[in-house]
Amino acid sequence: MPERPRTHPRLHRPVRDKGPLRYFLLHKPYGTLCQFTDEGGRPTLQSIFPIADMYPCGRLDTDSEGLLLLSNDGVFQTRIASPSSKLWKTYWVQVEGEPSRESLEKFCNGLEIEGVMTLPARARRMKAAPDIQERVPPIRVRKNIPDTWIEVQLREGRNRQVRKMTAAIGHPTLRLVRAAIGEFFLDGMPAGDWREIVVLDGKKYSE
């Protein structure tokens, strides 16, 4: 009887024992599902990433953009996706209004979201908008209400956490771009682009 493929307990999909381990960076565009199939016909990773048998390391909301890691290495996937790893994830966030320094300091102390305190995070106002493409479709613009880019760094990944945190300080998120996961960076890749990297012992070695 042929041996059944092992299934990773967290990812619930086969972990392949044969073939080289491969690692990729991808800039997920706005509106693209973080999966390869969708019965409703919505845009998925399959439309922009052609390498078979690779899987996302963690999630990124459909209405969020930015860095996504893909691999066929189950151990690496767990390291990236597991909350116990506490990897710092960096987000560029365009918010409505102009947050004060005091408001952003609340991120550092933790915010109560749905009755649970977040882990201490990092937040700062960016001196200028990041060098990224305009979103398609563009964000909604409200006359006479300014917007601000802030950088937020988290070590946890609750559902829509960044959006809930900016809302909690009175500055709704207009656009959210993940710029880094640990030592892996977006590095100016345009939306929809991807590149293969070399990873040794779970850490980026070269591109």
Catalytic residues: 61
Q: Strand 122-125 to strand 147-154: parallel, antiparallel, or no bridges (unpaired)?
A: antiparallel
DSSP-derived 3-state class of residue 78: helix
CA proximity to 113, closest of 151, 54, 152, 158: 158
Q: Structure tokens of 113? A: 């979201």
Q: Structure tokens of 167? A: 């809302």
47: left (phi over 0), alpha (psi -120 to 50) or beta: alpha
Contact residues for 60 (Cβ-Cβ < 8 A; gap 6+) = 28, 34, 66, 67, 68, 178
Q: Count Cβ atoms below 10 Å from residue 70 Cβ, excluding itself.
A: 21
Cα 59 from chain centroid? Answer: 6
What is the spatial distance between Cα 129 and Cα 40, in angstroms, rounded to a whole number?
35
What is the spatial distance between Cα 26 and Cα 56, in angstroms, rounded to a whole number?
10
What is the spatial distance between Cα 162 and Cα 154, in angstroms, rounded to a whole number?
9
